[in-house]
Structure 1
C-alpha cells in the first residue's frame, strides 16, 4: 500500500507540471574508469568525475553511506538501468517480500544470497533513484541501492618489455638493481602447490594458454559436458569455474572479453621451469576462473554471486583486480561473508593517482580485516605515476608498471596498473600457504606486511611503508 500511494503521488504531481523535487542529481552518462582509459574506451576528464569522501579516522578505511542506512545514488556513480539491489530483513520470507513489492511494478529478479539480498527489477518508467527512495521508509528493508558497475584497474601499455623485472631486477632499461620482490631466492625454498586454490574473480582466462593450462582449477566432482549438475552446487558443468556475466560454464569467451583476466592469471601462476614463456609467482597452483567482468566492466550483483561461488568452492585466496568509487553496502556485505569464511582478499588500490584516505576506492577501502589493498611501483621502486595510495587505506605496494605476462592466444605482452601489482601479492599469499597451509587469513596478512622491503617513496603512502618481498615472506 505504501508503494502504491507513493507512485500515485509521483504521477499526480508530474501531471500537474510540477515534477517531484529530486533529492539526488541525475545519473551521468558514460562509464566510470578508475584511471587511464582502457583500450577502445573513451573517458571524460578525470577531474570532472572525482568523488570526494570524508577522511578516514583512527586508521580505519573510508566507508561512506547515505542517510538512514541507504546508499546515496548521486551523480558520478554509474549503475545498471531498471534494477536495484535491496537487502530485506532475514526474518521475512519470499512471499512477504513479494507482498511488499506488490502493485509497485517491482519484482525480485534474483536472490543473491541466503540473507535476502535481492536484485529487484523496476518499471521502465521509474528512475533508479526514485525506486531507492520509495523503499526508504519500509521497516523490512535494511538498505537499497543501485546495482553499480565496477571496472578493471589495468593501464594500457603497448611497450614491448620482454623481461620480468618485478621478479628479478638487474637494472636494465633504466631500472634499479634489486627493485624487485626477490623471487629467485624464494623459489630456492618453495615453488607452490596444486593444493592451494586461488579464485580469480575477474574476467575469464584463456584455459588453453600453454603457460596456464596446467595450473587451472578443475572441479573434482563435476563430469565435463554431460549437462548434469553432478556435484549439486547449482551450476551445470562448472568444470573450471563459472561465468556469471553470461550465466554459463564457459569461463573463456574471447580475447577481447578476457584479456585482463588472462594477464592477471599469468602473474599469479604461469607455470615455472617449463621452458615456455614466463614464470608466475607460484609455479604450481590452482587458479579458479570466476568470471563476472567482460571487456573491462561488470556489475555489483554479479560480483556478489562470483564471491559466493569462490567461497563455496574452496578458494584460499581471492584476487580482485578491479573496483570503483561508488560505495555499495551490498558488495561490502558480500566481502564480510568472505571474511566470515576466513579467506584473504587481495584488491587493487586503483589507478587515479589519488590518496584513497580521502578519495575512496572500493572494494579496497572497505574496513574489513581480510582485505589487502595493493598499490603499484615501477622498476626504480617509485610509486607508479597512476597508482592510488593511502597511509591508512593502502597496505603495501608491488611491481605494477610494464609487467610481462600472458595474454589470450598463447602470447605475452606488457601489462600495467594496480591490476598487475595485485596478483603479485596474491601469488605471494598462495606461495606462503603452500609452505604453511594452516595459516589463518590474519596470520597470512600479517606475514606479508611484515616482510616488505621499506621504500622511501612509500613511507607515508601505505600502511606498511614498503614493497612486497617474496623471499622475506617465505623465509619468515
Structure 2
C-alpha cells in the first residue's frame, strides 16, 4: 500500500499550477464530525435513473425492493491495514468470534489464534508490537538478489536459478527507475510545501476569511491579478481533487509528503527489515500460519476504517454515514497490509483465516507489481472457492492497462484461466461525463470485471469522524457491499452467482471518457469486461429472478 497514485497526480497538478499563481501552508487536524446524519454526502448511494448520478442505487433498492424482505447474517472480511474498532459507526457491526473468551490469553476455540475476538493481525509480534512501514516487493527481491546473484550473469547463472535470476533482473531495472523518480519527486514536493502553505495563508488574509471553500472563492472579486490567478487555480485544484476547501488540500499534500518520505526511508530502502525484529517469522516458510497478534487497530487504521465503513457502517443510527450493507452483515478484521507492499504469505494466510472463520465475502483493497510467491495466494483463492467465498479486489491506481501491465493479486491464475470467485474492480466518478473513469484507475477489457464509485467516497475515519477518500480501494468495498446485500437477502446465492449477477446487472455506459493517464478518448464500455458500473438496484432485481 504505497503512496496513492491519486495523491501523486495531485502533486503533479500542484507542481504545474501553483508556480503561476503569484502568491504561493501547515495542516490542521480533521475536526470531529458532528453527531448527525451525514449520509447526504454519499453520492455513490444515489440512483442513475432517479437522481441522474452514476451511483449504485442503494437507497432506491432499500426503499423499493428490499423493504419487505428479511436479511440473514453475512460476514465480510476486510483484509487491510487495520480498523478503528471503537468507531461509533463500526463497533456495532464487528464480527464476534463466539468461541473465544476476550483477553484471557488462551486460544479457546483452538483455531491457532489467541483472543481473536474480532479478527487477526498478521503484521504483529507476540510482544504486541506491529509493523507499520514495509518495503516494496521489488525492494525485497533486489535486496535478496544482489546477495544471491553477486557476480552472476545471464550466461553463468545455473539452469535451476534462471527463473529467479530473471525476476531479480526485472525487479532491479524497475527499482532503479523508481528510486530515481521518487527521489526527484520528493525533492519537488518538499520544495513546494512551504510556498503552498504561505499561498493559502495569504489568500485567506487577502480575502478576509478563515475558510477557503468553493463559496468563498467563487464570491471573491479580487482586483490584484496575482490573487485572481490564485483564486482560479485553487478552485481548479479543488474541483479536480474533490476537496471541500483549501485546508483539505493542505491535508492531502501533507499526508502525501509523509508518504513520499516513507517511500525513500522505508519502502525503497534495501536495508530496511522490520519483519525480522517484530514478527520474527520466516516469511519464506509458506506452511507457517500461526504468527501475529490480535491488535486489529495497528499503527495507522485509516485505510481499513474507511473501507469497512463503505461496506457496513451502521445504517439506522441517524449519525455519520450509511454502509451499503445493513445489519446483520458484520465485518471481520484481518490486518495484513502495511504501508508498503503486502507479503504473499500474509495475504494467503489472511484469506485462509477469513474462510476458516466463516467469512462469505472478502474485500481486498491492495495490490503490487511483483508477486514472487503467487502460487500460495492462488492456492488460497482455490481454497476460498471450495468454501463458496467471493473475493473482491481493487484493480489498482496506476492508470495502467492490466492487459499489458502486472498487478497482483492477479485477475487470472498462472495458467491464464479465470478465477471464478474473484471480482476485480476499477474506479468510477460521480458524473456521467468524460471523467466517469477515475483518472488514476487501472483498466482492462480482460482483467477488470466492472467499475464502481471510487472518487470522493465519504466514509468512516479513525476517531469516530468521517471524510472523503478516492481510489480503487474504495470501489472494491462498494462492490463487496453490494455482494453482501445480495448474499444477506438471497442467502442461497453462491460465490459464482454473486459474481455473475453483479456483472450482468452492471449499468453499461457508452460515455466518451479519457483513458486513465492518457489523452485519448474512448467508449467507457471498452475499459472493462462488462463495460459498466455496479448497480445494486438492478442486481437485486436479477437476484429476485434467480431465486424464483
Sort the TM-score into its range (normalised by shorter chain).
0.5 to 0.7
- After the TM superposition, which of the residue ranges 330-339 and 425-434 deviates more from structure 2? 330-339
Distance 1:370 1:263 in 2: 24
Selected match of 1:200 from 78, 90, 94: 78
Counterparts of 1:108-257 in structure 2 under 5 Å?
Answer: 163-168=41-46, 177-188=52-63, 189-190=65-66, 193=71, 195-246=73-124, 247-254=292-299, 257=300
Structure 1 residue aligned with 2:425? 374
* In the alignment, structure 1 residue 412 sits paired with structure 2 residue 463: no
* In the alignment, structure 1 residue 299 sits paired with structure 2 residue 343: yes
Aligned-pair RMSD on alpha carbons? 2.6
Structure 1 contact 374–395 (Cα < 8 Å) conserved = yes
| Partner secondary structure for residue 317 of structure 2 | coil
Shift of 1:339: 2.0
Distance 1:296 1:218 in 2: 29
Structure 2 residue aligned with 1:25? none
| Partner secondary structure for residue 426 of structure 2 | strand
Selected match of 1:453 from 507, 514, 517: 507
Distance 1:380 1:402 in 2: 11
| Partner secondary structure for residue 178 of structure 1 | coil
* In the alignment, structure 1 residue 390 sits paired with structure 2 residue 456: no
Shift of 1:34: 7.0
Distance 2:402 2:48 in 1: 32
Change in Cα spacing, 1:398 to 1:170, as seen in structure 2 (3 Å) is closer
RCO comparison, higher one (Cα < 8 Å, 6+) = 2
Structure 1 contact 267–281 (Cα < 8 Å) conserved = yes
Structure 2 residue aligned with 1:462? 528
Structure 2 residue aligned with 1:289? 333
Distance 1:261 1:34 in 2: 14
Selected match of 1:432 from 486, 490, 494: 486
Shift of 1:185: 1.3
| Partner secondary structure for residue 538 of structure 2 | helix
Q: Taking structure 1 as the reference length, what is the TM-score of the superposition?
A: 0.64
Distance 1:392 1:430 in 2: 25
Shift of 1:379: 0.6
Shift of 1:32: 6.3
| Partner secondary structure for residue 414 of structure 1 | strand
Shift of 1:262: 0.2
Question: Which stretches of structure 1, 4 residues or longer, exceed 4 Å deviation after superposition?
Answer: 31-34, 36-39, 191-194
| Partner secondary structure for residue 197 of structure 1 | strand
Selected match of 1:361 from 407, 417, 423: 407
Structure 1 contact 204–262 (Cα < 8 Å) conserved = yes
Distance 1:208 1:185 in 2: 30
| Partner secondary structure for residue 323 of structure 1 | coil
Change in Cα spacing, 1:368 to 1:221, as seen in structure 2 (3 Å) is same
Structure 2 residue aligned with 1:66? none
Distance 2:442 2:310 in 1: 20
Change in Cα spacing, 1:314 to 1:38, as seen in structure 2 (3 Å) is farther
Structure 2 residue aligned with 1:319? 363
Structure 1 residues without counterparts, runs of 5 or longer: 1-30, 43-157
Change in Cα spacing, 1:430 to 1:169, as seen in structure 2 (3 Å) is closer
User: Which structure features the higher share of helix residues?
Assistant: 2
| Partner secondary structure for residue 181 of structure 1 | coil
Counterparts of 1:24-35 in structure 2 under 5 Å?
Answer: 35=5
- After the TM superposition, which of the residue ranges 189-198 and 351-360 deviates more from structure 2? 189-198
Structure 1 residue aligned with 2:498? 444
- After the TM superposition, which of the residue ranges 452-461 and 303-312 deviates more from structure 2? 452-461
Structure 2 residue aligned with 1:340? 386
Change in Cα spacing, 1:164 to 1:364, as seen in structure 2 (3 Å) is farther
Q: Taking structure 2 as the reference length, what is the TM-score of the superposition?
A: 0.56
Aligned length: 323
Shift of 1:305: 1.3
Distance 2:539 2:493 in 1: 13
